[in-house]
Amino acid sequence: MKIAFSKGTSSSAWTSGSASSIHAALRSNVILPALLVLAGALAGTQTARADSYVFNVNGNGITASGTITVAPTGTAGTEVITGISGYFSDANAGANFSGAITGLEPTVAPSGPPPFPAPAFTEAGFSYDNLFYADGNSPLVCPPDTPGGPPGYPFSGGVLDIYGLAFDIAGGFTADLWSNGVVPGVGLDYEISDSFGSTKLEPDNEGQALSVSVETSPVPEPGSLLLLGTGLPGLIAVLARKGKQRFMQSNA
């Protein structure tokens, strides 16, 4: 942008149009770089492991959404879900209920890496471990086939494993959500079953569970929001001073 400014001209000789042009130039050369720097810093904080995630579950009459909180375990890449809140609905004729998600079914995280047997079962017999894999690459957790023992499971993948997540819904209902992993010919496959006490409403036996889609995204860290809210004005001021100095030197 060409600016009407000549060497040796006093500030009293500037026109209002010139001043406006200078201010506009400074704004364009300061605010955009400041936003880019802050965006980069904010993105850097988001790559760190989040403490909580927003989730959405949809498909075959099932809808659920809310937030989970997680904590690290002794196994890299594996976190345990420590809390859950939100809303759940099953519109299928065999269930037809909805309500607030009130909490997790209790369990104890495995003491070591997989494979391991299912740590817990709901009253209706659903296995679960309440583990979370933020990278979407859950491992094989079932022990391999053994004579006289339970069958193993050959597929893996997803933010949950084959044992899955069990949580309670207001009114005495329980849901179990799990990943079947990346199944050949199907792709990444999640399923869900729910129950009322020991009565299965959407059984998980013989493929009778409901297929659903699952989406998760990290909740911004409070520190990141603070950085965005408090760092931007100061950064703009610093860049403005430097921009003004460069401008004055270039026109001296």
Specify which residues 120 forms β-bridges with: 128
DSSP string, 75-115: STT-EEEEEEEEEEEE-STTT-EEEEEEEEPP----SSSSP
- 193 with 211: CB under 8 angstroms? no
Contacts for 223-231: CB closer than 8 Å, 24+ residues apart: 223/45, 224/42, 224/45, 224/46, 227/38, 227/41, 227/42, 227/45, 228/38, 228/42, 231/38, 231/41
- pLDDT per residue as tens digits for the range 217-250: 999 876 555 555 555 565 555 555 665 555 555 5
User: The pTM is what?
Assistant: 0.70
3-state secondary structure of 50: coil
Stronger pLDDT, 206 or 144, i.e. the higher one: 144
Q: In the block, which residue shows the tokens 């079962």?
A: 121
* Percent of the chain clearing pLDDT 90 (strictly above): 55
Neighbours of 50 (CB within 10 A): 20
Average pLDDT, the chain: 79
Give the percent of the chain with pLDDT over 70: 65
- Per-residue pLDDT, averaged over 34-42, amounts to 52
Query: In sequence order, what are the residues at sequence separation of 6 or more whose Cβ sits closer than 8 angstroms to the Cβ of residue 109?
Result: 73, 80, 119, 129, 130, 131
57 vs 3: which has the higher pLDDT: 57
State the virtual CA torsion across 57, 86, 136, 130 in degrees, nearest 10. Answer: -110
* One-character DSSP codes across 121-134: E-TT--EE--EE-T
pLDDT score at 59 = 96
Token pair of 53, please?
């995630």
Q: What is the mean pLDDT of residues 69-92?
A: 95
